[in-house]
Structure 1
Amino acid sequence: MKAARNGTKDGLEKTKIAMMRKVSFLSKKENTDDTEDDSGYLDVTVSDAKHPPPQLCPMPDGLSNQQIVRRHILGSIVQSEISYFDSLKRILQEYQTPLLDAEPRILSPKKIQPIFYRLKEILQCHAMFQIALASRVAEWDRTETIGDLFVASFSKSMVLDVYSDYVNNFTNAMALIKKACMSKPAFLEFLKKKQAASADRITLYGLMVKPIQRFPQFILLLQDMLKNTPAGHRDRLPLQLALTELETLAEKLNEQKRLAEQLSEIQQLARSNSDRALSKQLNSDQKQLILCETLIETVYGEKGQVLKSKERKVFLLNDMLVCANINLKGPPDISSLVPIGPKYTVKWSAPLQQVQVVEVGQENPQNNDSVFQPSGTKRLSSVNSQGQHRKLFLGPPRLYQELQELQHDLSVVEEVTLLVGTLQGSYQNLNTTVGQDWCLALQRLIRIKEDDIQCANKCRLRLMLPGKPDKSGRPVSFTVVFNTPSPISKISWVNRLHLAKIAQREENLPGWVCAEDDEKTKPPFWCPLLACRVPVFSPKIKSCQLGTLGKY
């Protein structure tokens, strides 16, 4: 990193000079709100006359194929930045300003401000970048460098701050828009008219999602530029540093977006639940969403037939498991303007410590907290407590029943083949060769069915849950079966469920973790190490226990 920064020192100085060449357009923003800290923020007034958009001059003669490709990539960067900058201006000029100036009021300013939170600051960041980009594009055929410009423009802390605030608020902004559409018909009509009047028919949501997509677009363009930059070129090292900076920034924003969406999911689940006690638990600050996914719940009959199959949203929280029905219905006129999102109806919830994973062939649920590892071996029988062999069901019952039928047919055909071999006469199509062909065909079908069972089981998540006590007060449990989208998804569910249960133990509840001084960063949910006691048995000492540490 030090060598990379030293390698781009001259380029960074040139960029700073280009950005500050006309210093009159830069002025410090007055901090009118004591609650916000806008240190480093510059209020930029961009005039098309003084600061025209960046534009490439006609291509000179004598360029190599690589130079031509780099020039085309630069043109894509310029066009995408102009389009993005215009989209930001459209949001403010066509939506925010008319809503603030509307008489009579469509929405109160207190509701408008959080919808368009930090958009003006994002616009200012890209106004500064566009001015510097225009200067760099004008001298491209002489310098052919662009990486240092991205480093100078997007490595500032204020860029991360404004984009982080926007991303964290995005889910809340969409919820406010949805709520306003349902409660304010004038606002819904306003959005419809704006969309109908635009040439591209893009919605407000389509415009507001662009800041979230901007840095991934930059990364793709710079990756193409780097691929077409030869070794030893003075722009190669700055491009590598620029990609490092942008990928780091994009990763931080993605993580913050993920946390914001998880919080929104928990809040949506709490709002849609009729049980006040459960809603209070979900609204607790201690609740953390570890994993949520749409799974297929399958109910089988006694003969292995599928009785019912329905999509469920399953939420794995730090101390409980929740299953909910999904309701995707919503007003069509609103859903066309902003994503409505599903509504949930809680089907059941269970404390995490009482949830057990039942793997294939296990009569009793797992009581240990071992991490699931997929096994390549198939066990067809085991011995129960009475010493008798019992069959183990591999995969869904219907597939296993079909396997049993094929195995029965194979044994019958083998017996028939042996009987045919004892015939004294010769008969057409009735000989041992035909019987052997039947046996080989059935064996192929059996292998295919076993593969189907194994694949189905890799996506089959079976859980034992606590139910309501019976009339005598004894505890009752029931089993639910979910089909996950892929084997990796099942492994993730089993592993995270076990780790979450281990994390709930007293020895893994950290008392030293606290919030950061800026009061914005939440304390980490997972400990760096999880302690788990594993029993170790020896011939002499059977009660010995070993305390081990497992890194998460």
Structure 2
Amino acid sequence: MLRWESNNTLSSQERARLGAVPKVPRPWRRSKGEAKEEETESKLFLIANELLQTERAYVARLHLLDQVFCLRLTEEAERGSFPPEVIRNIFSNISSIYSFHCQFLLPDLESCICRWQEGPGLGKALLQYAPFLRMYADYVRNFDGAMELLKTWTERSSAFRSIINDVQSQEVCGRLTLQDHMLEPVQRVPRYEMLLKDYLKKLPEDHPDYQFSQKSLQVISMAATHSNSAIQKAESQKRQLEIYKMVGEEEVVNPTNQFLKEGRLRKLAARNTLAMERHLFMFSNFLLCCRPRFSLVGQRFTVRCKVDVDGMQVHQTTNEDHPYTFQVSGKERTLELQASCERDRDEWIKIIQDAIGEFQEKQETFRLAPKENASYKKVVLRSIPKTPFRLDFGGL
């Protein structure tokens, strides 16, 4: 039976228990500096064990996703409460991921630790399975759509909502939501990358496992790049929804819009030196300048002005009475803002400049696209033979 753990890190008791590494001769040991080598070996052992312990906890969560959430929802879908394809689209290839970790990767990691007295071999153990981590690409690509479907059907179907609430109320869920558990596979590959990097730093370059570890890290890093991008996007979308509730601006949750930065700044009045506290939200499509307002149901803001990125300009300004100022101007509005320090001001200017640059690149791409398509059509038309052809209707 799978053992549930509430988190992915080793406790101090487990670290203490696992810290005693058998001191046996190694064929790769040098004759000098044995104490340092034993210390290095102990650190390598702890990293490998942390990977093993977190893998056990991870497999337990995959079991929860595949054999509890997905299975119960699938059974209810077969009764006609909601379309079966909804469940398939939400959970994507989670069954394949669960089978891979449960039947292959976890058993081999356990064998690797059992054979540790023969010498550290984590890199070699991971290398044979690293290419299979590419299966996470499908899960990561599907993640955003899965979150949307989950939200939609939780609101639309009482049967769907009831099953999710029932499972989430169980102790095995660790007081986490289905969304939290579904994010775990997206986070897992970057976790492998982090631990393997740590392992490689402490592994002597002349060790037999060094080359295996390097090759494993190359493959895992490629898979981690996709996962990190999905994590950032998921966190951005979550924050966008929270901001939408605070400001009530529908364009905040537009799928083409991306949250970039927020913070408190002071807005300088145009005709006097008065500075007013404002809260700014920067998105890929626009900037919101807001004023905090009283609310009994959490933090809320009133939008005072909105500046679109289309036509936006930003530059540093000099103000004798107010240091660390910069100006954001749009087609209709101009804001002079004061940051709390030079670093904060520079960060805001860079974020806004990057947003403007990315927007302009997209606009240029759209502008050139029709011309490229027209050129392509001309090439295709020129390639069509001009030789007349004759229709043969046979005996009709």
Measured in 1, the distance between the counterparts of 2:171 and 2:161 equals 16
Structure 1 residue 88 displacement after superposition? 0.3
Structure 1 residue 128 displacement after superposition? 2.3
Q: Please name the residue that 1:176 is paired with.
A: 149
Q: Does 1:217 align with 2:191?
A: yes
DSSP 3-state at the match of 2:284: strand
Contact residue 99 and residue 105 of structure 1 kept, 8 A: no
Alignment of 1:96-107 (within 5 A): 96-102=70-76, 107=82
Q: Tell me which amino acid in the other structure corresponds to 1:466.
A: K
Sequence identity, in percent? 18
Q: Does 1:243 align with 2:108?
A: no
Residues 322, 227 of structure 1: alpha-carbon distance in 2 compared, 3 angstrom cutoff: closer
Q: Does 1:110 align with 2:108?
A: no
**Structure with more helix by fraction:** 2
TM-score between both structures, scaled by the size of structure 2: 0.66
Alignment of 1:124-273 (within 5 A): 124-126=99-101, 127-156=103-132, 159-160=133-134, 162-199=135-172, 200-258=174-232
Q: Please name the residue that 2:350 is paired with.
A: 492
Structure 1 residue 90 displacement after superposition? 0.9
TM-score between both structures, scaled by the size of structure 1: 0.50
Q: Tell me which amino acid in the other structure corresponds to 2:149.
A: L
Structure 1 residue 174 displacement after superposition? 2.5
Q: Tell me which amino acid in the other structure corresponds to 1:178.
A: K
Task: Choose which of 469, 481, 496 in structure 1 pairs with 2:337.
Answer: 481
Q: Tell me which amino acid in the other structure corresponds to 2:351.
A: W
Structure 1 residue 211 displacement after superposition? 1.0
Alignment of 1:118-517 (within 5 A): 118-126=93-101, 127-156=103-132, 159-160=133-134, 162-199=135-172, 200-258=174-232, 292-296=260-264, 298-301=266-269, 303-307=272-276, 309-317=277-285, 321-323=286-288, 348-350=306-308, 352-353=310-311, 355-361=312-318, 393-394=319-320, 400=321, 453-454=322-323, 457=324, 460-467=325-332, 477-479=333-335, 481=337, 483=339, 486-496=344-354, 499-500=357-358, 503=361, 509-511=367-369
Measured in 1, the distance between the counterparts of 2:113 and 2:201 equals 20
Residues 262, 346 of structure 1: alpha-carbon distance in 2 compared, 3 angstrom cutoff: farther
Structure 1 residue 129 displacement after superposition? 1.7
Contact residue 72 and residue 163 of structure 2 kept, 8 A: no
DSSP 3-state at the match of 2:317: coil
Number of matched pairs:
330
Measured in 2, the distance between the counterparts of 1:326 and 1:183 equals 35
Please, which moves more after superposition, 484-493 or 207-216?
Answer: 484-493
Residues 74, 67 of structure 1: alpha-carbon distance in 2 compared, 3 angstrom cutoff: same
1:405-439 Cα distance to aligned partner (Å, 9 max, x none): xxxxxxxxxxxxxxxxxxxxxxxxxxxxxxxxxxx
RMSD: 4.4
Measured in 2, the distance between the counterparts of 1:228 and 1:241 equals 16
Measured in 2, the distance between the counterparts of 1:345 and 1:106 equals 42
Q: Please name the residue that 1:550 is paired with.
A: none
Measured in 2, the distance between the counterparts of 1:170 and 1:344 equals 32
Contact residue 309 and residue 355 of structure 2 kept, 8 A: no
Measured in 2, the distance between the counterparts of 1:182 and 1:265 equals 20
Contact residue 322 and residue 348 of structure 1 kept, 8 A: yes
Q: Which runs of 5+ in 2 are unaligned?
A: 3-17, 26-37, 374-396
Q: Which runs of 5+ in 1 are unaligned?
A: 1-45, 48-55, 333-341, 362-392, 395-399, 401-452, 468-476, 515-552
